[in-house]
């Protein structure tokens, strides 16, 4: 029999397991990443003219060649120029699509994905995220910054070369508000951070703990919505990713690489999405919230039941997911 499991952050319920038993890695179909020709790839060295003008780059000492590069998205969801122009149309409200949409080209090597990088190279990617968040936070039109990655065709990727994206929004998304509201209600009732309590319990029980180091831990949440969903979270209370310290960024990169390497080996290189959740730029929820990275392999489809109810059906309990992911060395 499956279980109903409640997310204490936002009150969302998840159905875990079921009468058919726990679904193993071998029961999910493998998928190859999106393929494109290296010579025509706009993200490869030598093809810099195929992207908009560079915003930021980390370069090799002495050679001048770039390792990590940030450019505006060629087809942005939001435009940097202009005013918000908020207005009402009867019962509706609207504003202009003002924001920022950037691409972080994570490495110059066309063949390497995040799971294949060294911890040192991935740390440069993490620090690039931090630098762009700190810079964009100065624009008072922006209320929220989201970093996300789509890997593989079914996850929404259109280019193979390893990259992630950053979008600055003029509003705080509803899902973020709901998460913060749930965390603040927990703090008011128990005088503790719900995320910190989750960390203590996961470390104490060890049933869903995947990896940990000095500053971070990775685990499959008790209320995992999807098979092999993994969260990476700082072990001490931190609400704003932009405040990550230099000595912490390497530890964060280490767990990102280890998690993605485990998924690549054990789940046959699945498509995946990851999203970095942090506090809004006005600092609301700082006492209650805890920034974290959510990694979701694309192994199950969202269908009518999920869309209609907000429930998720997860055929692989997180306790089994952790056990299977730990079977591979990284």
143 pLDDT higher than 90: yes
- Is 163 one of the annotated active-site residues of the chain? yes
Say what the pLDDT of residue 88 is: 82
DSSP codes joined into one string, 97-151: -B-EEEEEE--S-TT--GGGS-HHHHHHHHHHHHHHHHHHTT-TT--EEEEEEEE
User: In the predicted model, what is the mean pLDDT of the chain?
Assistant: 92
| Per-residue pLDDT reduced to its tens digit, 4-56 | 678 888 777 777 776 666 788 888 766 666 666 677 899 999 999 999 999 99
| Per-residue pLDDT reduced to its tens digit, 87-121 | 887 878 888 888 999 999 999 999 999 999 999 99
Q: Which residue has the higher pLDDT, 224 or 26?
A: 224
Q: Which of 101, 107, 163, 292 is catalytic?
A: 163
At CA 146, angle to CA 82 and CA 137, rounded to 5? 55
| Per-residue pLDDT reduced to its tens digit, 283-300 | 999 999 999 999 999 999
pTM score, whole prediction: 0.91
Radius of gyration of the chain (CA): 20
Domain 7-19+36-82+92-325 has CATH 3.90.420.10: no
Say what the pLDDT of residue 308 is: 93
Q: Which residues have C-beta within 8 Å of that of residue 144, sequence separation ≥ 6?
A: 168, 169, 171, 172, 173, 176, 280, 281
């Amino acid at each position: 029999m499956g279980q109903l499991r409640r997310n204490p952050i936002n009150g969302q319920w998840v159905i875990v397991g079921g009468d058919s038993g726990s679904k193993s890695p071998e029961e999910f179909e493998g998928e190859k990443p999106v393929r494109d020709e290296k010579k025509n790839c706009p993200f490869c060295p030598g093809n810099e003219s195929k992207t908009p003008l560079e915003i930021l780059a980390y370069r090799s000492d002495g050679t001048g060649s770039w390792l990590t590069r940030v450019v505006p998205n060629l087809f942005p969801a939001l435009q940097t120029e202009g005013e918000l122009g908020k207005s009402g149309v009867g019962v509706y409200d609207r504003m202009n699509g003002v924001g920022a949409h950037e691409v972080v080209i994570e490495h110059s090597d066309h063949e390497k994905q995040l799971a294949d990088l060294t911890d040192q190279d991935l740390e440069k990617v993490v620090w690039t995220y931090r630098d762009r968040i700190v810079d964009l936070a100065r624009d008072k039109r922006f209320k929220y910054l989201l970093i996300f990655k789509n890997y593989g065709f079914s996850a929404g990727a259109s280019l193979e070369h390893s990259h992630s994206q950053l979008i600055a929004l003029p509003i705080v998304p509803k899902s973020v508000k709901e998460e913060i509201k749930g965390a603040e209600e927990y703090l008011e009732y128990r005088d503790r951070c719900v995320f910190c309590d989750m960390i203590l319990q996961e470390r104490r029980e060890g049933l869903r703990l995947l990896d940990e180091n000095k500053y971070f831990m990775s685990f499959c949440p008790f209320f995992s919505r999807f098979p092999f969903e993994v969260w990476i979270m700082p072990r001490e209370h931190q609400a704003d990713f932009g405040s990550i310290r230099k000595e912490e960024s390497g530890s964060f990169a280490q767990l990102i690489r280890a998690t993605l390497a485990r998924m690549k080996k054990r789940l046959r290189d699945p498509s995946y999405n990851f999203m970095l959740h942090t506090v809004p730029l006005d600092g609301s929820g700082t006492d209650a919230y805890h920034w974290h990275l959510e990694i979701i392999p694309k192994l199950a489809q969202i269908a009518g039941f999920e869309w209609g109810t907000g429930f998720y059906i997860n055929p692989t309990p997180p306790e089994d997911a952790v056990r299977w992911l730990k079977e591979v060395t990284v």
